[in-house]
A and B are shown apart, each in its own frame.
Chain A
Amino acid sequence: MSTRSLRITLCAALVATTLAACGGGTADGGGDQGSGGGTIKLGAFSPLSGPAVSSSSGVKATEAAIRKLNDAGGINGHKLEFIVKDDQYDPAKTPGVTRELVESDNVAMMCGPQGSVPFGAVKDYLAARKVPSIVNAGAPTLAGEYSYLVSSPFDGLGGLLADYAMDELGTKNIAIAYSEDILGTSALEGAKKALSEVGAQPAGEVKFDVSATDFSAQAIQLKGTNADFVIMPGAQANVAGQLINAAEKIGYQPKWGLSYASQNQTLLDLTGGALDGRAFFATPYISPESAVGQDYVATLNKYFPEVETSSGATIAGYTIGEVCLTVLQAAVDEAGGDVPSSEDIQKVMNNMSIDNDYIKGINWTTDGHEGARSAQILALVDGKFETDQDYSPLPE
């Protein structure tokens, strides 16, 4: 395996270096980036092929939101052009495609580039080019002068799940399972803090390795805590599914506190119906079963009927598209009805609060570019993700 990844990495690095060199040659020096007669150019990178191709549902949903607005006449008559480039979720490829977007396509902003690790590879470059980004990723460290987050910080989601278990499920007997990365550890901290506010301690803290082939040791440890509720919002569906199945195997059936990261069909397939009524998903995004969710599902089905609409990643992508459109409407107003520049866009974003049907609790200022500080809890009922606790502010 290690030989394999090494070879892939080397090949990818070579290709990326070549691409980056080519991109550098076609730079035109900028100047009037994005201000092309009646068209607002937006860019994003996302895996469109390769091992992570399933994550392309997010960027497709972003595109659906944009196309819907274009079909309704655009913003003050300006059409939006959304250019998506394939980086295969490979941080060695991301810089090359990002340079193309910025220097050849002259995008005014990045709308929903995918993934914490790929975005981390180009965050400084985009800042140097003064191109603002609304990022589709969860790591709070990605926020910066030119990068803006929509997804809630995971410490907040961890805290929200702990409060939900105590207030709604009536138990303080809570364990936390986490992986040793930024999402896992911040969720752990958030949950512990929420428990300590009421003078409680976690029943156990169990660490897992996302690349493991066997989760039975973690399942045994969790069972040993005898907790009624297990918080692990940082886990993706395949990891969460394996750990839950390992717990089922030893007869341990707690309620599980998850997040939009694992909210999809893969989790349901892996656990085979065992989770119904026992899984809760903290998310800043809408439920596909809600009234506004029906509107979202209809839009997706119109433009991309093949995309899985109940997936948290798809809903996140669509919401980020909506956020971009909100930002652009304000930016066009700021530019006096003209096509806004990158500068105009950043200016409005530095003073923007969003509280609408799709997302609540975004308060961007010059200094703060964090994601939504309001989230809801969805419960898995008959294979559907339904609102169980309405939007509430995340614990600080």
Chain B
Amino acid sequence: MDLLQASIVLGVVVGIVYALSGAGLVVIFRTSGYISFAQGDIAAVGLFVGLAAYKAGGGYGLTAVTVILVSTVLGGLVGGLITIPLERHGHLPAALSTIGVGLIIGGILNVTVGGDPRAFPEVSSAAAFDFAGVRLGWSDIVGMLASAAIFIGLGFFFRRSRIGIAMRAVNDNRFAGQILGVPDKRLKLVGWIVAGSLSGVLGLFVAPILSLSPVSVNTLLVFGFCAIVIGGFDSIFGALVAGVSIGVLSNLTSAYVDPNLVPTVLWAAMLLVLLIRPNGLFGRRRLVRV
């Protein structure tokens, strides 16, 4: 089998998941202007509740709905009760609060469910078809289709819908938004709710691969963070391209150089992009008033 070819195909498959994790971060960034570090822990809570539902005899459908529902509600609660109110003291306290929330949720999970990894069900374990020597399962196909739908949906949401445009406006100039009567806090809450449900969806794809533990989604969000820095903080499309590139790049590094160098290569790529194009490959250069 061709090592290069399979590395690339599998890199694309996993890269789409990386991109999805970046997309959730972009949603909050676009409304509030900072990154939430709590998304992985929010997803973990949803996944553990979902796993309990699964073990209690709920089918995969019920499990998936439970995961997304819990992550959505928890995301809304964290944003609405803690982080958005803290924004009045500035972006830094708000962003720091997400680290604090993440650590607290992680700590509670460690005490209640423990840190050992456990298996999480996937949508289907059946193989769909072979492509370039890689057996793609139905769960891969569903994952890619769902990711594509989410990317198209988010792009449309921020470009075309009134709420999406208003969310960008609030981040652009909060004062002007208030003067015009834009309900900025409500829109930020919408951002957190959407990001919460996205992290739940992400968790559904991550947990079957990485196994479920309080840190498994967080492990992956590092790649999502890389993806949005490389792709450009405000570009959903950039997150997609960068996520897939990271998947392929890390696979090639792992196969041809040294698996222990994967994080090094990623961070180096990120710094390089920051030096050459500070707004990312697809981020729009921030125009200043003439």
Contacts and interface: CB of A to CB of B under 8 A. Distances in A.
Contact of A251 (B7, B119, B133, B211): B133
10 contacts: A4-B106, A55-B116, A180-B260, A207-B258, A213-B220, A217-B252, A217-B254, A224-B3, A241-B119, A270-B211
B219 A211 contact: yes
Of the candidates A1, A241, A245, A246, the one having the most CB atoms from chain B within 10 angstroms of its own CB is A1
A369 B22 CA distance: 51
A180 B65 CA distance: 40
Given A54-B114, A211-B219, A242 B259 contact: no
A53 interface: yes
A266 B211 contact: yes
A146 B216 CA distance: 38
Interface string B189-230: 000000000000000000001110111001111110000000
B137 interface: yes
Nearest to A249: B135
> Which DSSP category, helix, strand, loop or mixed, fits chain B's interface?
helix
Task: Choose among A53, A216, A221, A270 the residue with the greatest number of B CB atoms under 10 Å from its CB.
Answer: A216
Contacts, number: 129
A51 interface: yes
A93 to B, nearest CB: 14
A220 B116 contact: no
A238 B14 CA distance: 18
Contacts of A54: 114-116
Given A7-B99, A180-B260, A224-B3, 10 more contacts: A1-B218, A209-B260, A209-B262, A214-B14, A217-B10, A217-B250, A221-B3, A221-B255, A223-B6, A237-B117
Contacts of B137: 249
A238 B254 contact: no
Contacts of A238: 117, 211, 213
Interface centre among A8, A55, A238 (most CB of B within 10 A): A238
Nearest to A88: B110
A237 B210 CA distance: 11
Contacts of B1: 220, 223-224, 250
Interface in B105-131: 106, 110-111, 114-119, 125, 130
Contact of B135 (A217, A221, A237, A251): A251
Nearest to A206: B259
Contacts of A8: 103
B254 A242 contact: no
A213 B219 contact: yes
B46 interface: no
Contact of B209 (A242, A266, A269): A242
Interface of A: 1, 3-4, 7-8, 49-55, 180, 207-209, 211-214, 216-218, 220-221, 223-224, 237-238, 241-242, 245-246, 248-251, 266, 269-270, 272
Nearest to B111: A49
B247 interface: yes
A249 B134 contact: yes
B102 interface: yes
B251 A216 contact: yes
B3 A266 contact: no
Interface residues of B, number: 49
A166 to B, nearest CB: 26
A250 B103 contact: no
A311 to B, nearest CB: 10
A212 B222 contact: no
B79 interface: no
A-B pairs, top 9 by smallest CB distance, nearest first, are A51-B115, A54-B116, A269-B119, A217-B254, A216-B10, A217-B255, A238-B117, A53-B114, A209-B259
B11 interface: yes
A387 to B, nearest CB: 26
A53 B254 contact: no
Most chain B C-beta atoms within 10 Å of own C-beta, residue among A49, A213, A269:
A213
A217 B106 CA distance: 30
B7 A217 contact: yes
Contacts of B114: 51, 53-54
B219 A1 contact: yes
B50 to A, nearest CB: 15
Given A52-B115, A54-B115, A208 B209 contact: no
B133 A270 contact: no
A181 to B, nearest CB: 11
Contacts of B219: 1, 211, 213
A258 to B, nearest CB: 16
A51 B103 CA distance: 12
A72 B110 CA distance: 37
A220 B260 contact: no
Contacts of B260: 180, 207, 209
A4 B103 contact: yes
B138 to A, nearest CB: 12
Contact of B119 (A3, A214, A270): A270
Given A53-B114, A214-B251, A238-B211, A251 B3 contact: no
Given A213-B210, A266-B211, A3 B99 contact: yes
B11 A216 contact: yes
A49 B112 CA distance: 9
Contacts of B210: 213, 242
Interface in B55-111: 99, 102-103, 106, 110-111
Choose among B1, B11, B115, B220 the residue with the greatest number of A CB atoms under 10 Å from its CB.
Answer: B115
